[in-house]
A and B are shown apart, each in its own frame.
Chain A
């Protein structure tokens, strides 16, 4: 720690309030958090404590109101809208609880989307997408539609999609909560094996205690704060 070159995410006093007046919800009340490159950080905490809000801010899809948030020394609030979108497209991978695969696209086409968004030609994008599907153990299912795949397989496609453009940061919101235990376990194994890299940070939101073991560190949140950051779930 302390080595600036290795710091992927640095949040200092980040606040976020939804709505205003009586309806205002203070979702983040001063978040201080650092995530190292090469690290798998889990965000845990009770429902409504602000986990999703925090990774949305970190991933640059939501503006925070106060404090500082730097991702690989970049400040999203200092970027123009277009620059920010392009930064996301190049540097960030997403895995969602609901998979969010485009139903009419085949597995390979879904995986190719981040490349297409970055302007890679269709053929080249599909080639790389197939390689990536191979890495997540879905060789032979390139032409399957999401509806023809099991939940676990769909999440593998989603992981391939989050990886295909070699992003520096991957954010996952509840990647296993739509899956049964053993499938979720396998998905986490896969994430650890293929997604963790020396220069890449992973931030995974979960309240599934059974996957805590995969974390390098765990940040426990409560009511808009980071309560503590621990190295193993035994310390929670």
Chain B
């Protein structure tokens, strides 16, 4: 009876397209919104994952997420270095500092000061210049996104001129020269990122902030990282997290204390409701229109179970097609968004979840129709 079910489904072109459209729309909305949400969440810890070498981040216990730096005393760095199991430990400065552009306009920048000697914590991907150029006098490396947008200045013809290697700018009244450009994961707040050496960052920083914010630690080979974190906490007054822990802590902070999840959640729920409503309604109409045929099948000996399997097959078919089209469309949007401000990340877990959601919609639509068919009196077949 399977082919009968499929033929019935596709026989009514208009309704079939209606149901598929509803499900496509729902899958698209759900997948795309969720992918943007995941992308946004990824940005909350981009600066952690951008830095590959350290295993452990050590910081003031009051730190709630990566963009919430608190000062750490220099003596703590030496204490950490003395803890057994630590291969090395370097300071990192991360703070917002005001920069003044050529035009005189001000712009808040995220200044990242990395260890002078090792340059650990620098950008992973240079697009111009070399990381070592930071050792040059007054040298800074700027992220491309910052250089081309917020740090760009209007040229003589009114067009915006990006900040280039060799240009200078003032950071908190200290002169800085761009020696390189780099790619970073976009930060959550999209401020320009300015990399420089730790000691130069100290000179940029206003008086009350002239302290490191993080100690980046590499564990010795074979040392258990969680155990090392525990030891660091014991020997200092600081918090210590593995990279993954810190990622989670940062993300959870945004989940908990911003309206972001709620906003996306609403969009996803709306997609779900709209999709369920359209698909449910059209599928119900479709079943309603075919009720006399279901009745005829029932009279001719089709068991209720058989009819329910037919409806299930019909709903799963439209579900699979709608899901495919919706996720396809979402992927296209994702591909188009690749080089823009829009965050978009579609891991397989997300696809699984949206598939489950679409399945739920289909089950919902099918259930309404199934109830109709279960209640159906075969005697209606003799009604003209």
Chain A residues near B (Cβ < 8 Å):
52, 55-56, 59, 61-62, 81-82, 85-86, 88-90, 92, 94, 96-98, 100, 102-105, 109, 113-114, 116-118, 122, 161, 173-174
**In the complex, how many angstroms separate the beta carbon of A116 from the nearest chain B beta carbon?**
5
> With contacts A61-B379, A94-B381 known, is A85 near B292, CB below 8 A?
no
Dominant secondary structure at the B interface? helix
Is the beta-carbon distance between B378 and A113 smaller than 8 angstroms?
Answer: no
The residue of chain B having its C-beta at the shortest distance from the C-beta of A162 within the complex is: B300
A122 to B1, CA, bound (A): 8
B358 to chain A, nearest CB (A): 25
When the two chains form their complex, are residues A114 and B301 in contact, meaning their CB atoms are under 8 A apart? yes
Nearest opposing residue in chain A for B7, CB measure: A104
B377 at interface, CB cutoff 8 A: yes
Which residues in A have their C-beta under 8 angstroms from that of B298?
61, 85
Distance in angstroms between the alpha carbons of A86 and B300 in the assembled complex: 9
Cβ A113 vs Cβ B300 within 8 A: yes
Give the residue name and chain of the A residue nearest to B8 (CB).
Answer: A104
CA distance A52 to B50 in the complex (A): 78
Whether A105 contacts B4 by the Cβ 8 Å rule is yes
Using Cβ atoms and an 8 Å threshold, which residues of chain B touch A113? 4, 297, 300
Judge whether B300 and A117 touch: CB under 8 Å. Answer: yes
A85 touches B382 (CB 8 A): no
| Complex: A109 Cα to B292 Cα, angstroms | 18
| CB pair A96 B302 closer than 8 Å | no
- A97 close to B302 (CB less than 8 A): no
With A and B bound together, what is the CA distance between A113 and B297 in angstroms? 8
B299 interface residue (CB < 8 Å to A): yes
| Contact residues in A for B304 (Cβ distance below 8 Å) | 81, 85
Assess A52 versus B382: contact at CB under 8 Å? Given A82-B303, A100-B296. yes
Kindly state whether residue B269 has any CB partner on chain A within 8 Å.
Answer: no
| Chain A residues within an 8 Å CB radius of B7 | 102, 104-105, 109
Residues of B near A102 (CB, < 8 A) are 4, 7-8, 11, 293, 296
| B293 proximity list for chain A (CB < 8 A) | 100, 102
Select B296's contact among A82, A96, A122, beta carbons within 8 Å. A96
Which 6 pairs across A and B sit closest by C-beta, in order of nearness?
A89-B301, A104-B11, A61-B378, A100-B296, A62-B379, A104-B7
Does chain A have a CB within 8 A of B353? Answer: no
Distance in angstroms from A60 CB to nearest chain B CB is: 9
Residues in A whose Cβ lies below 8 Å from that of B381:
61, 94, 96, 100
B306 touches A117 (CB 8 A): yes
Asked whether any CB of chain A lies closer than 8 Å to the CB of B384, the reply is yes
Residues of B within 8 A of A98 (CB): 292, 384
Q: Name the one of A62, A89, A161 contacting B377, with C-beta atoms under 8 angstroms.
A: A62
Taken together as a complex, chains A and B put the C-alpha atoms of A68 and B377 apart, in Å, by 21
* B-side contacts of A122, CB under 8 Å: 3
Residue B10 at the chain A interface, CB threshold 8 Å: yes
Complex-state Cα separation, A76 to B300, whole angstroms: 15
A136 to B378, CA, bound (A): 26
Residue with the highest number of chain B CB atoms closer than 10 Å, among A62, A96, A97: A96
| B residues in contact with A114, CB < 8 Å | 300-301
Which of B4, B12, B378 is close to A116, meaning CB atoms less than 8 Å apart? Answer: B4
A118 touches B379 (CB 8 A): no
**Cα(A224)–Cα(B293), bound, Å:** 28
Bound form: Cα–Cα A109–B12 in Å: 17
User: Can you show 27 pairs from A to B with CB atoms below 8 A apart?
Assistant: A52-B383, A55-B382, A61-B379, A61-B382, A62-B379, A81-B304, A85-B301, A85-B302, A88-B299, A89-B301, A90-B301, A92-B301, A94-B381, A96-B382, A97-B382, A100-B293, A100-B381, A102-B4, A104-B7, A104-B8, A104-B11, A113-B300, A114-B300, A114-B301, A117-B302, A122-B3, A161-B300
Distance between B299 CB and nearest chain A CB, rounded to angstroms: 5
